[in-house]
Amino acid sequence: MYLRRFTQLSLGSTAAFLPTTAFALSNFANGLGNPTPGAGGTLWEFIYLLIDIIQWVALPVLAACIVYAGFQLVSAGGDETKVTSGKRWLVSSLIGVVIILGAHVIAGVVCGTAKLFDDTIVCPA
């Protein structure tokens, strides 16, 4: 019973995924790109565009978090729990700022590493 079920699943999986493998190996797949203007023609351009959008949204939010942390620290009035909460907000916000501002560097490192394995990859500046 198990052997029959295994055989059915194996043949079904092979039949389902064989066309995708054949398409991936064809020359037609190599010429595909994004025809939409402004959305990035390659994967790396799209990733950099996505990082820019995330930075545009996240930096004001993180600035508000830093202001809130400062308000908590100033208004703590010696209350240890509020001071601890304010410090936690401040440290978390600063870590977020470093990650968001370093996103281009991280993406550049990943793209450069991928370029070591495939010379056809073009990393945006």
pLDDT of residue 4: 76
Q: Tens digit of pLDDT for each residue in 80-109?
A: 999 999 999 999 999 999 999 898 888 888
**Mean predicted confidence (pLDDT) in 63-90:** 92
76 with 86: CB under 8 angstroms? Answer: yes
pLDDT of residue 38: 65
Measured between alpha carbons, how far is 107 from 44 in angstroms, rounded to an integer?
A: 8
pLDDT of residue 36: 64
Q: Quick one: which of 116, 100, 32, 14 has its CA closest to 65?
A: 100
* Range among 1-5, 22-26, 44-48 with highest mean pLDDT value: 44-48
pLDDT of residue 27: 53
pLDDT of residue 26: 52
3-class SS string, 34-55: CCCCCCCCCHHHHHHHHHHHHH
